[in-house]
Chain A
């Protein structure tokens, strides 16, 4: 059987990095092909070559056995290759109709016919069995619906190949089911689907075939049934992984440790009901709850990124006046935000500048770190966190997502905090980095750092936490400590049973 799309011997180099080396990749009609790999393995580069966004250095692309040249995303589209990128490229303030018809509005007498545009938008959504008011601004819908609109936009009548880059990255379980269901539908209609994700369980739920990239090379390709998950993960990492799931049994919460941070009655109207929370030095406290339960809000209220309208936060007994990120940093609290692109990195600034930023802010503008000192700190962190960058002067925006996350983490660590707040530390990064983050959290707490970890992944919380604070509907509803922390107890507390 001829593959619907077949890439053979694709190579691509960027200055300083060989991103792809002779990669073969093919997808057949009516098949979901999962493309997996660690950060910087070359997944994004491969799909960009496939969709004409990047020119390849070597190799060939065939559609239904026919050799094709794809010079631009537009040409890819004309050839029937649709793509939805990781960062949704839609405009939230515009209506769904406008988002779906932008660039190809139906015209009448030279003017846009909005009546026909609306019909076109509804028709596109109907293909995905979505029925929403197309006149409302896109931003008023949930992320899942926005993702569906993005897919609808990528799907033309003659689309044969659909590339989905992390379509479920910011969705909760129900929303994920919705997207996977639609992928099954599209597969049944004969589409060839490329599915990039870092959720291993989703791969096994839907993919027919798996390809694994590592350091720009194809290291494995097999039908899903022939590739058990442990084998898959070790392919991705290039080494056998130890299980990180279990919490070490000998680990006891430090009994006599001093209180590093205490939040008393901190809250804000409409954001989060007042809560009490304290962290001891060397303790890891998890924040668990469903999407929208107030995890991020709790983290940001403590840090002062959202200004509380009541309550007090004290670090080592000293109250933080004012409640601003600036004051928190000065008192030795650091936050790694969830949305690294919007709140984490300064993309145009170098790795070095990003890493020293928080420490420099703590010292104040009049006491600059010398050039050599900055370089030393940056090099140390690049080494310690294994940031994949050719050098410290590379703009952070050019690194892959997981490495950007590491730079944000490095920035917090360099500021020498007593309390570190991690909001979704493994969001958007792959399994290998995942294990690294868990190890890192353990190492940091062993050094006496107090950590507050907000996460949607229960296994991660179970693996690292000494205590877990459970949130439901923007209230703190319970706390689980020590050996009682399991997936089940957390789920029970969330469910209120």
Chain B
């Protein structure tokens, strides 16, 4: 049979049609939310958009937002991959805590700092292997499987601290600190690190077939398996990626405070990361991975936090205001909610 396509007007798409297509595109809403937050900031605090050069590096609220968003963004990238397979990784905060503890431990033990950097990422690999084993091999539901490491991980961090008798041990490491709080030329290093990690993941997903496999497994694991995509291997890969990216965030966060604090380091970061993925248009029912939009999501969250702090609103209101804005962003993304607004507007116009 044939399907008669409806032919668009010959003069090309109308403005309305183009507007409609633009609004339907998924990245519009996080971009719009970000722009809105920044515009409000511009009015509330003069000089918000000023970027100066202080002590040989860029300085200003916009740079600050990028700078502070990076750890969450790194975690969110890994989270986007896991969520794309219809999974979730609640253990990322604990992975960060263990990473911090291992860094402090090995620095006190006198290892080379470059080796320690790889050991830290190795922690991420181990955590990912563990989660992957539970989810992909034992077939435990992801939320439960990763809950195990989420609760035990901070305890493991504390136990590693105890190995050499310290609580919250601090350390000095020019190499790791340069990755976190240093700068290359004018640009803070962690922004570069974040950009590189984003690009690497994009390459891994979109310049190999891994992205397609991850999304196929997330959409319908049984169908993907019958098509010859080893669903088990693919799930394993997702948790491995999430572990490594959480560990990278762990390096940045630990080097920033140059202290291992397993109790509070990266606390609740999994929630911000999940939120970043969702604001970026990812669905918890799996099937799609949007890396760029996820980065935007992380920026939206940080822009919000920063602007609440700089706007003079008492910090006690921070969480509630954040929740409010997040609801607005999610409503904007919801087709149903947008339809409701349009219907109400039409009803009023009549």
Contact = CB atoms under 8 A, between A and B. Distances in A.
Interface string A365-379: 111110000000000
Contact of B227 (A18, A41, A361): A361
A432 B1 CA distance: 9
A386 B228 CA distance: 25
Nearest to B216: A346
B326 to A, nearest CB: 24
Nearest to A40: B1
A381 B246 CA distance: 42
Nearest to A327: B228
A204 B230 CA distance: 46
Contact of A388 (B3, B209, B222, B229): B3
Nearest to B287: A348
Given A215-B1, A348-B287, A388-B1, A361 B223 contact: no
Given A348-B288, A368-B208, A41 B6 contact: no
A360 B212 contact: yes
A349 B287 CA distance: 7
B226 interface: yes
Contacts of A366: 208-209
Given A357-B212, A365-B213, A369-B209, A346 B224 contact: yes
Contacts of B210: 365
B11 interface: no
A343 B226 contact: yes
A347 B224 CA distance: 11
A453 to B, nearest CB: 17
B220 A346 contact: yes
A411 B287 CA distance: 18
Contacts of A343: 220, 222-223, 226
B2 interface: yes
B21 to A, nearest CB: 11
Given A325-B226, A346-B287, A353 B209 contact: no
Contacts of A415: 227-228
B16 interface: no
A345 B222 CA distance: 9
B1 A361 contact: no
User: Interface of chain B, helix or strand or loop or mixed?
Assistant: loop
A17 B3 contact: yes
B219 A357 contact: no
Interface string B1-40: 1111110000000000000000000000000000000000
A326 B217 CA distance: 14
A314 interface: no
Contacts of A90: none
A335 interface: yes
A38 B1 contact: yes
A358 B227 contact: yes
A390 interface: yes
Contacts of A349: 215-216, 219, 287
A344 B224 CA distance: 8
Contacts of A38: 1
Interface in B224-249: 224-230
A329 interface: yes
B346 interface: no
A85 B226 CA distance: 27
A343 B222 CA distance: 5
B220 A326 contact: no
Contacts of B222: 342-343
Interface in A7-48: 13, 15-18, 38-41
A411 B209 contact: no
A82 interface: no
Given A343-B222, A345-B220, A346-B219, A330 B228 contact: yes
A39 B1 CA distance: 8
A229 to B, nearest CB: 20
Contacts of B226: 303, 305, 325, 335, 337, 343-344
B218 to A, nearest CB: 8
A360 B223 CA distance: 14
Contacts of A124: none
A268 interface: no
Contacts of A365: 208-210, 213
Contact of A358 (B220, B228, B287): B228
A442 B290 CA distance: 43
A365 B234 CA distance: 10
B3 A326 contact: no
B350 interface: no
A214 interface: yes
Contact of B228 (A15, A41, A328, A389): A328
A54 to B, nearest CB: 14
Identify which of A215, A328, A361 gathers the most chain B CB atoms within 10 Å of its CB.
A361
Contacts of A358: 227-228
A189 interface: no
Contacts of B224: 346, 357
B207 interface: yes
B6 A367 contact: no
Identify which of B1, B208, B213, B222 gathers the most chain A CB atoms within 10 Å of its CB.
B1
Nearest to A335: B226
Contact of B4 (A215, A362, A411): A215
A347 B216 contact: no
Contacts of A356: 212
A357 B228 CA distance: 8
A353 B216 contact: yes
Contacts of B207: 368
Contacts of A369: 209
A325 B228 CA distance: 5
B24 to A, nearest CB: 10
Contacts of A357: 212, 216, 224, 227, 229
Interface of B: 1-6, 207-210, 212-213, 215-216, 219-220, 222-230, 287-288
Given A366-B209, A432-B1, 19 more contacts: A17-B4, A18-B6, A40-B1, A215-B1, A303-B226, A305-B226, A325-B227, A326-B228, A326-B230, A342-B223, A344-B223, A344-B226, A345-B220, A346-B223, A346-B224, A357-B229, A361-B228, A365-B210, A366-B208
| A-B complex: 10 closest residue pairs judged by Cβ atoms | A329-B228, A361-B228, A346-B219, A348-B287, A358-B227, A368-B209, A361-B229, A365-B209, A346-B220, A357-B227
10 contacts: A15-B6, A17-B6, A325-B227, A343-B226, A348-B215, A353-B216, A357-B212, A360-B212, A389-B3, A415-B227
